[in-house]
Chains A and B, each alone.
Chain A
Amino acid sequence: MIEGILIGLKTALTFQNILMVMVGCFFGTIIGMLPGLGPMTAIALMIPITYGFDPATGLILMAGVYYGAVFGGSTSSILLNAPGVPGTVATSFDGYPMAQQGKAGKALAIAAWSSFAGGTLSAIYLLFMAPSLSKVSLSFRSPDYFALMILGLTAIAAFSSKGQFLKAMMMVVLGLMLASVGQDSLSDITRFTFNNMNLTDGISFVLVVMATFAMSEALTIILKRNDPTSAAKQVSLTELGSIKINKEERTKMYKTIPRSSVIGFLIGVLPGAGATIASFLAYGMERNVVSDVEKEKFGKGSVNGLSAPETANNAACSGSFVPMLTLGIPGSGTTAVMLGALLGFGVQPGPRLYMTNPEIFWSIIMSMYIGMVILLILNLPLIPYIARILAVPKNYLIPLILFFSVTGIYVMSFNNFDIYLMIGIAVVATFLRLYDFPMPPLILAFVLGGLMEENLRRSLLLSNGSWEFLWDRTLTACILVTTILIVVWHIYKTFKRKN
């Protein structure tokens, strides 16, 4: 492991990679501050630029964007009560009241230090957990992988659907259907191409991500007459005050950070869960464990109430890398985008990544830590200035997003058909978004579609067409029982809400 860490450090500490983390954190912070444009859009927009890099550098850039976006989301949560990303909603519960009391700078500093500590601790957990899990996952067989993918898709549908589980499952099926277009990987038989040569290789992952996130978000902003930049304009005008944290506040944070980081990391590791659930759980748990006096302060500017979700959401971001790096199965929409990009580089994440491409595996883990330091040193003092950059009118922002989307596809294929297809998918996605059909399940399903079919094929062929493989192995059965529990729990919750 020491050797791996040194390889990772060597790769992550090259001038180019440090620059990429800085650029990523900076760009991510900008996008994260804009309500509506989350980390997935930010990462999707970065994809064309990563074509010019090696896989490690490309992924380091995307990881930096991810952390930056979460940090940027916290800023608008605290200063404006307008969370830039769902994972920072809980941050606004105590961050915004603190800002209203004239302690905006302090709230930002608490959030930044908590994020830093949460990210650092979770990077340490990841450091120890990922190699062990990689070794364990080597014993996984096709039925286990198939069951794990079903679990991941069900979980993301359950957690991202805001009470609309069936809609999310429809998006999962749509994602899998889109992934089935093109040549069958084993027999080379073409499917659903309708004799169109452009579809023989299937639909590109970058195209689907750009269409369902970047482009459709831009169209939704115009359609709904939203102005995401108005929030940023207000941030640039806000007086921050002192960013110093006193001894009493530090003592409170020392207790909150370790427990919240553990919750955040473990929730992040679970497929489908992620930063939003982690931050709410950490907030709820913190409220239960603090003294009665402190409990009274929750919702009115509590240090613990701000520190807990911020620690947890950053820890969850690191946690979500575990299933992607060790199993090759992304746990969230954001890591699904990264997985797709990695596949584009010709790198197959999974248990063997740790052995075959140690420089990628370890440099990502190391760059997470570097990213945290950069966010703390560079972005915290620069927030008002970053916000000023953001105060560009949406009349400029939207065309630029569209431009990045089209460029991403153009440099990949030099093909008109792909651009038309992207516009078509974006229009459908915009319409579906209006009626609350979630897009992350579609992306995750699209990324997993090929792998899922391959593992189902192997399982069915080995069991001679019998579905007994689903309960033959204890591990497969356990994963499927977990999936069923998630579905049952979700149905129970829906009925409870109705009553």
Chain B
Amino acid sequence: MNINTTKIISLLFFIFSAFYLYTAYQIQVFAFDENAPFNARTFPIYLGYAGLFFSGLKLILLDPNTIKVDHKNLEYKKTGILILIAIIYGATILKVGYFLTTSLFLFASYYFLGERRWILMFLLSFPFVAAFMYLLHGILDIYLRDPFLQSIGVMG
């Protein structure tokens, strides 16, 4: 059997399905429901077997259309940085507030992607987020939680 990344993904999916199936069998159902034709664990159990079946087939069958990805040409560094910035954004948005974190997230993302036109970067972060917030909060009446703007009295 030719080992390639697709097969490895299928193997991981097979393991995941086995774990899912095991967890499905562990679902606690009410005593009166235990022998019912259908209870909370029935559908997940079928899904677990379906996952094992399809990933198992993918594992054992020959794959004529092998996908080859040239990892040397992939931009892992910038993607990683972007994901990291997004995680930091997610971690701070509740405490710091929507306006400041979103503006800083956009500004930092532009910078790490290689942009250096500072004025444009600024315009497409702080004023842009302010305008978007006005659209959501002011016009469309969608609540946006922002402790920072509330503390300085900009937002009610």
Q: A residues near B, CB below 8 A?
A: 48-49, 51-53, 163-164, 166-167, 169-170, 173-174, 176-177, 180, 184, 186-187, 189, 191-192, 219, 222-225, 393-396, 398-400, 402-403, 406-407, 410-411, 414-416, 419-420, 423, 427, 430, 432, 434-437, 452-453, 456-457, 460-461, 463-465, 497-498
Which B residues, 49 to 94, have Cβ-Cβ distances below 8 Å to chain A? Answer: 50-51, 54-55, 57-58, 61, 64-65, 67, 69, 73-76, 78-79, 82-83, 86-87, 89-91, 93-94
Whether A393 pairs with B115 at a CB distance below 8 angstroms is: yes
Residue of chain B at shortest CB distance from A164: B65
B106 to chain A, nearest CB (A): 5
Set of chain A residues within 8 Å of B74, measured between Cβ atoms: 223-225
Whether A406 pairs with B90 at a CB distance below 8 angstroms is: yes
A169-B54, A423-B90 known; A180-B30 Cβ under 8 A: no
A191 CA / B141 CA spacing, docked (Å): 35
Which B residues, 1 to 39, have Cβ-Cβ distances below 8 Å to chain A? Answer: 5-6, 9-10, 13, 17, 20, 23-24, 27-30, 33, 36-39
Residue of chain A at shortest CB distance from B98: A410
A460 CA / B35 CA spacing, docked (Å): 13
Which B residues, 89 to 131, have Cβ-Cβ distances below 8 Å to chain A? Answer: 89-91, 93-94, 98, 102, 105-106, 109-110, 113-115, 120, 124
Whether B90 pairs with A419 at a CB distance below 8 angstroms is: yes
A-B contact count (CB 8 A): 176
Q: B residues near A, CB below 8 A?
A: 5-6, 9-10, 13, 17, 20, 23-24, 27-30, 33, 36-44, 47, 50-51, 54-55, 57-58, 61, 64-65, 67, 69, 73-76, 78-79, 82-83, 86-87, 89-91, 93-94, 98, 102, 105-106, 109-110, 113-115, 120, 124, 132, 135-136, 139-145
Whether A170 pairs with B28 at a CB distance below 8 angstroms is: no
Identify the 10 closest CB pairs spanning chains A and B, nearest first: A52-B140, A465-B37, A419-B90, A399-B109, A184-B40, A395-B113, A395-B115, A189-B40, A453-B43, A460-B38
A95 to chain B, nearest CB (A): 29
Set of chain B residues within 8 Å of A420, measured between Cβ atoms: 87, 90
Set of chain B residues within 8 Å of A399, measured between Cβ atoms: 82, 105-106, 109-110, 113
A461 CA / B43 CA spacing, docked (Å): 13
Whether A167 pairs with B58 at a CB distance below 8 angstroms is: yes
A416 CA / B86 CA spacing, docked (Å): 11
Whether B145 pairs with A402 at a CB distance below 8 angstroms is: no
Set of chain B residues within 8 Å of A398, measured between Cβ atoms: 82, 109, 113
Question: Could you name 11 residue pairs across A and B whose Cβ atoms are closer than 8 Å?
Answer: A48-B136, A166-B58, A170-B51, A173-B51, A187-B30, A219-B83, A410-B144, A414-B94, A415-B94, A416-B90, A435-B69
Whether B144 pairs with A411 at a CB distance below 8 angstroms is: yes
A498 to chain B, nearest CB (A): 6
Option from A180, A393, A407, A415 in Cβ contact (under 8 Å) with B44: A180
Option from B44, B57, B87, B135 in Cβ contact (under 8 Å) with A192: B44
Set of chain A residues within 8 Å of B140, measured between Cβ atoms: 49, 51-53
Known pairs A435-B9, A436-B67 / 7 extra A-B pairs, C-beta < 8 Å: A48-B136, A170-B10, A177-B44, A223-B75, A224-B73, A402-B105, A460-B37
A399 CA / B83 CA spacing, docked (Å): 11
Whether B37 pairs with A166 at a CB distance below 8 angstroms is: no
Where chain A touches its partner, the secondary structure class is helix
A161 to chain B, nearest CB (A): 10
B69 to chain A, nearest CB (A): 5
Whether B37 pairs with A461 at a CB distance below 8 angstroms is: yes
Residue of chain A at shortest CB distance from B89: A406
Set of chain A residues within 8 Å of B120, measured between Cβ atoms: 396
Option from B20, B37, B40, B64 in Cβ contact (under 8 Å) with A177: B20
Whether A435 pairs with B55 at a CB distance below 8 angstroms is: no
Set of chain B residues within 8 Å of A48, measured between Cβ atoms: 136, 142
A170-B55, A414-B145 known; A219-B67 Cβ under 8 A: no
A125 CA / B55 CA spacing, docked (Å): 41
Whether A465 pairs with B43 at a CB distance below 8 angstroms is: no
Whether B73 pairs with A225 at a CB distance below 8 angstroms is: yes
A48-B136, A173-B47, A173-B50 known; A423-B23 Cβ under 8 A: no
